[in-house]
Every structure is written in structure tokens, then in C-alpha cells.
Amino acid sequence: MYKLRLSIAAALVVSSTFSVAGSYGVEARGSAMGGTGVVAANYLTAPFYNPALTAIYRRNDDAGMLLPSAGLVYNDEDGLADEIDALSDAIKLASSDAVTAATNAQLAMDNMDGTDAKLEFGGAVAFGIPNPYLAMNIFGKAYMESFVTPNFSSDTDTLTRAQNSFIEIASVGVAEAGISIAKYQTVLGQHMSFGISPKLQRVYSYAYAASATNYDLQDLMDNKNAETTFNIDAGAMWFYGPFRVGFSAMNLISRDVESEPVLTTGGASKTFTYKIQPQYTVGAGLVFDYFTISADYDLTEDTRFDDFEDNTQWLKAGLELDIMRQLQLRGGYKKNMAYEDSEGTFTAGIGLSPLGLFELDLTVSYTNEDAMGGYINFLTTY
């Protein structure tokens, strides 16, 4: 019953193994606060939200390391994996009970129509060097996004249609390395910081399609495309006491990533196109020593894959309570404004900082019982 479901999950994970997640802030603290970070991130996580924050640090901060951060989010709110299992079982039943098989296959295809399953996975490392002259953060980040969706045959006979329909997987991953450079300035009496992050990106794309009973993961790994490119992020922040307003612009150089062609339903050749494009976000918040509240909003809609309903335009909010710099309690909420019927996601997490020796951050996210995620950070500062 679960063989195909496991195959799909394995296909998604195998396609992401190069990246051990675009504009994902793949770190636990910000993720616990609803994904906010344009004004609430710290100098170690600044490259993933707003390079300008690289220049904002405490006086006793000399250096810091984020090593590592990782996150995973799985979304199958339509139950696609279960329906593919059901379709596979119906096809196998056809040889012994064609009538029941046809009924079950039609029900599964009806339930699968217009659905998809998603997986996002990422990791990051960073080494921050704060100083009053030109603060720097050397960072690396990898993230991926994978989709599974059905492509139905046009055959009129139910069992023939089920047998000739394909399940498609498209995946893109970006591994990037760069340096954030930022400077704190007083402009006309106003406190501001500005930052940029030039970076190299290695972009991978995978595409795969097969019938519901004929998956071969080796074919997925063979059908990949990769290219190297340059990109840049930028950001700015204004603050007055605890009040902050910020702006970030990530991936300022647009690029279309096209997969290798794959044979799908009816023998047609198909490619998947993923868009890396500028993402502009504004944020505002109050940042005190022991309490932070923040909200971010994407000014633009991120379109990503052409063939899937995966557009995003996030509205995020979150808070953090710091108890004597030993324990941090965090919570948040985010909603994808690109779709009116999208469900909101609740986030929660804790941070442990025993005697200031290191910090361990743990986070979970929950949209519904079929859409959840988890994140972890380990960092030290000196």
C-alpha cells in the first residue's frame, strides 16, 4: 500500500541531496517568528533576510558562527500521495477484478485532479565579523523546492486512462555562497544601515515522469541540468530606539531555469521552467533587549514554477520573548496572499542559550495535518 508513497517521498528527497533550499531564510529563529527577519534578524542570519542587518550587533560581539542551520517543510494537504497509492492499487487489481479496478481508478483520478504535493528543504552556514568600519558575513546557503503532480491521459476507457497517465516530478535547487557587507551610518541625524551580498549560485534542475506503477529513481538522478551564475542581494534599515523599518531586495538578477526535457503522458516531451526573480520585502518591528515583535510583507509575487500553482506573496508576523538570555520563546503566523483560499501557517519555537556558551534553536510549523515543517539552528558568538 505504501510502496509508491515511499517512492515519491524518496524521489523528492533524492532530488534534494545535493543541497544538504529563491529567497528562503532557512534558519530556525526567524522561521519560529513566522518567517520574519527583515528587521528582526541578527548579524549572523542577516544574509538570509536583509544584508543591512550585518552591521547591527551588540558591543560585546566580536565574531559568530552559524553552523549549521537546516529546515524541512512537506505539504500534501490534498492527500496526493494516498491517491497515487490508490491509483496504483487499482491498476494492479485490473487483472483480477476489472469492474472494481475501474471504479477505484476513476475515484482516485477524480480526487487527484488539480492537486500537487510539495517539499522544501534547505540548509545554511554563516561566519559573521562585526566591526564599526565594514561589517561582514561570509555565508553559504542551499535550498530546494520539489513538486509532484499528475498528468492524465486523454483515453476514454477508465483503466486505459489510468495506465497511460503519468506522475510528474519537478525539482530545482540552488546552492549559493557569498559575502554580506554592511555599514551603519547616521544620515541627517537618522540611524541607518545599508548592505549588499554579492554571491555565486549553482542552480540544479531535475525533471521526471513515469506511470503510477513504474517509478525508477535512477532515471530521476540522470535527468538533471546545472549551471553557475552570479546574483546579488541588497537591503537597508532605519531605526529609532527600538523601532525599526527595513527593506530587502533578494536575487536582483532574474534568471529562468529550464529542466532537461522529459517524456510524459502520450509520449509528449515536456520541460519545466523555474523563475529566479527579485523579491522585494518590507518589514517593521520593535526590537528590545528582551522582547521583539516584527512583521514582514512581500511587495511582489514570486511565480517560481510555470506549471504549478506555487506562487507566493507572504504576510508574516512573529514575536520573541527572551528570558534572561538563557531561554527564548517564539511564535508567529504567516499567510500566502497569492491565493485567497490558502491556509495560514502557525509557527513556534524555543532557543536555548546556556550561560551564553552557544545557542540552539528549534522550530516547528503547522498548516494542517498534511503540511508541517521543522527547523534547527546551532550557533556560537564570541
What are the tens digits of pLDDT across the range 361-373? 999 999 998 899 9
Task: Using pLDDT thresholds of 50, 70 and 90, give the confidence band for residue 111.
Answer: very high
Q: Average pLDDT for residues 177-203, to the nearest whole number?
A: 96
Rounded to an integer, what distance in angstroms lies between the CA atom of residue 14 and that of residue 19?
10
Which pLDDT score is estimated for 223?
79
Average of per-residue pLDDT values in the chain: 89
Q: Give the residue with greater pLDDT, 269 vs 45.
A: 45
* pLDDT tens, position by position, 35-60: 999 999 999 999 999 999 999 998 88
Contact by Cβ (8 Å): 361, 376: yes
Rounded to an integer, what distance in angstroms lies between the CA atom of residue 264 and that of residue 261?
9
Q: Average pLDDT for residues 60-86, to the nearest whole number?
A: 89
The listed CATH number (1.10.10.10, 3.20.20.150, 2.60.120.1140, 2.40.160.40) that belongs to domain 3-381? 2.40.160.40
Which pLDDT score is estimated for 216?
63
The percentage of the chain sitting over the pLDDT mark of 70, rounded to a whole number, equals 92
Which pLDDT score is estimated for 194?
98
Range of lowest pLDDT (1-5, 17-21, 105-109, 319-323): 17-21
Query: DSSP string covering 193-208, please?
Result: EEEEEEEEEEEEEEEE
The percentage of the chain sitting over the pLDDT mark of 90, rounded to a whole number, equals 65
Beta strands 117-129 and 224-240: pairing type?
unpaired
Which pLDDT score is estimated for 221?
67
* pLDDT tens, position by position, 143-168: 988 888 899 999 999 999 999 999 88
Residue 220 has pLDDT above 90, yes or no: no
- In this structure, how many other beta carbons lie within 10 angstroms of the beta carbon of residue 134? 12
Domain positions in the chain: 3-381
Range of lowest pLDDT (7-21, 85-99, 109-123): 7-21
One-letter-per-residue 3-state SS of 47-94: HHCCHHHHHCCCCCCCCEEEEEEEEEEEECCCCHHHHHHHHHHHHHHC
Top mean-pLDDT range of 15-24, 114-123, 292-301: 292-301
Q: What's the CA angle centered on 23, arms 338 and 358, to 5 degrees?
A: 125
Q: Average pLDDT for residues 302-329, to the nearest whole number?
A: 93
Identify the CA nearest to 278 among candidates 234, 229, 334, 225: 234
Which pLDDT score is estimated for 253?
97
Tell me the backbone φ, ψ of residue 93, rounded to 5 degrees.
-75, -15
What secondary structure letter does DSSP report for 324?
T
Going from the C-alpha of 99 to that of each of 95, 159, 275, 320, 358, the distances in angstroms are 10, 9, 44, 58, 63
Q: What is the pTM of this model?
A: 0.89
Which pLDDT score is estimated for 9?
46
* pLDDT tens, position by position, 234-250: 999 999 999 999 999 99
Task: Using pLDDT thresholds of 50, 70 and 90, give the confidence band for residue 229.
Answer: very high
Range of lowest pLDDT (45-54, 262-271, 344-353): 262-271
Q: Give the residue with greater pLDDT, 375 vs 16.
A: 375
